[in-house]
Amino acid sequence: MARNPERRTALLDAAIQVLADEGARGLTFRAVDARADVPTGTSSNYFRDRDQVLSQVADRIFERLAPEPGDFETALLAGPSRPLVLDLMRQIAQRLAAERTCYLGLFELRLEAVRRPELRTQLTKVLRSDLDANIQGHLQAGMPGDADTVRLLYFALTGLLVDHFTVPGLHGDRDLDDLIETVVTRVVPDM
Amino acid sequence: MARNPERRTALLDAAIQVLADEGARGLTFRAVDARADVPTGTSSNYFRDRDQVLSQVADRIFERLAPEPGDFETALLAGPSRPLVLDLMRQIAQRLAAERTCYLGLFELRLEAVRRPELRTQLTKVLRSDLDANIQGHLQAGMPGDADTVRLLYFALTGLLVDHFTVPGLHGDRDLDDLIETVVTRVVPDM
């Protein structure tokens, strides 16, 4: 296996673009090489097979979607409150909207995971580690609500973003900020 | 265009299976014909092009996911209440889980809609008509909460079902019924 880490990352980012543009079925070594603008055969030096590409793409997507280190701690200086939860949810949504290709790629991965047990295991692992970190962060910061508050915010944000990316006109003049405010106001206790 | 309505419906149902199994990229006239077990060339007598298949699949999915006529009215005899909302949400989730292929096909359509404006318009139309009917039914029945209560239930159910179908182990021992109860209890006012 080839080991240049920048090259590997560039190949994974190309794979995410292929996923978002062509769907999981379009994800082949050849398509990744073409998208990364490298000689045909390069990807096959970096990844054992297509399953390994998919599995590492899952990790890479969460790496790109993660907040900057320290962002959460800085925000918390204001003290835990419902308005702060709203603020953080809006930041998350903006980050995901800016990384639209990643978020759409994640959904392509999810659908592919229905057909591929190995990918399902890997995707469950990264999604759970992300959800657990959010729950822990919320509780340790003394934010209003409990673990199920965070779970419910996560469910609602998924539904909301899927609409935002795939059928943006569905909720008429209600924009992303407005819908997120509705969700937070109704899910998070006021304190 | 050929006009046998049962044949057209059978072709659309085959198209839904192809979507769920192979993704939107796998959806070709040839694949639909093969899945429906009809001679190659049949689909092309029923549909102008692939866009028309996708657009009619969107309608067909909602036809299959719709409750039986009268179900909602019968349930309402018990009088509007939060437990009744819970009951109805569980029925919806069970119906969607039973029509797993349809629900997964709907997500494949959503992702394809990102790439196809014509499909996006059609999908927005059927999703909005479904959401509007749910909001109207809720309000007219005097169920607790308002239009945004229904919108929030819809967002949360989307997130919850996407996990249930694609990464079923994500929420550990919390099953679908349990998670739906959590959502309803926290989103719908008690009355």
pLDDT digits (tens, 9 = 90+) for B29-56: 999 999 999 999 999 999 999 999 999 9
CB A26 within 8 A of CB A36: no
Predicted complex ipTM: 0.95
Instruction: Report the pLDDT value the prediction gives residue B76, as an integer from 0 to 100.
Output: 85
**Total domain count for chain A?**
1
Q: How many residues does chain A have?
A: 191
Instruction: Report the pLDDT value the prediction gives residue A27, as an integer from 0 to 100.
Output: 94
Q: How would you classify residue A79: left for phi > 0, otherwise alpha for psi between -120 and 50, otherwise beta?
A: left
Domain assignment of residue A26, yes or no = no
Average pLDDT, rounded, for chain B: 94
Question: CA-to-CA distance for A128 and A125, rounded, in angstroms?
Answer: 5
Question: CA-to-CA distance for B176 and B112, rounded, in angstroms?
Answer: 27
Residue type, A44: S
Instruction: Report the pLDDT value the prediction gives residue B1, as an integer from 0 to 100.
Output: 74
**Phi and psi at residue B38, to the nearest 5°:** -125, 160
Domain assignment of residue A9, yes or no = no
pTM of the prediction?
A: 0.95
**Phi and psi at residue A70, to the nearest 5°:** 95, -20
Instruction: Report the pLDDT value the prediction gives residue B71, as an integer from 0 to 100.
Output: 83
Number of Cβ within 10 Å of residue B91's Cβ equals 14
What tokens does A86 get? 């709203």
Percent of chain B exceeding pLDDT 90 equals 88
pLDDT digits (tens, 9 = 90+) for A130-141: 999 999 999 999
Instruction: Report the pLDDT value the prediction gives residue A176, as an integer from 0 to 100.
Output: 93
Q: What is the CATH number of the domain that holds A129?
A: 1.10.357.10
Domain assignment of residue A111, yes or no = yes
Domain assignment of residue B148, yes or no = yes
CB B10 within 8 A of CB B36: yes
CB nearest A156 (choices: B110, B131, B156): B156
CB nearest B166 (choices: A22, A113, A182): A113
Domain assignment of residue B157, yes or no = yes
For A9, A35, A42, the CA distances from A45, given in Å and listed in that order, are 13, 16, 5
Instruction: Report the pLDDT value the prediction gives residue B74, as an integer from 0 to 100.
Output: 87
Parent domain of A82:
54-187
What tokens does A168 get? 């943006």
Contact B171 A151 (CB under 8 A): yes
Contact partners, residue B33, CB within 8 Å, separation at least 6 = B14, B39, B40, B41, B42, B43
In chain B, residues with a C-beta closer than 8 Å to the C-beta of A120 are 166-167
CA of A153, closest CA in chain B: separation in Å? 8
pLDDT digits (tens, 9 = 90+) for A16-59: 999 999 999 899 999 999 999 999 999 999 999 999 999 999 99
Instruction: Report the pLDDT value the prediction gives residue B99, as an integer from 0 to 100.
Output: 93
In chain B, residues with a C-beta closer than 8 Å to the C-beta of A162 are 110, 158, 162
User: Is some CB atom of chain B closer than 8 A to the CB atom of A181?
Assistant: no
Domain assignment of residue B39, yes or no = no
The vertex-B7 CA angle with B6 and B13, nearest 5°, equals 90
Greater model confidence, A42 or A76: A42
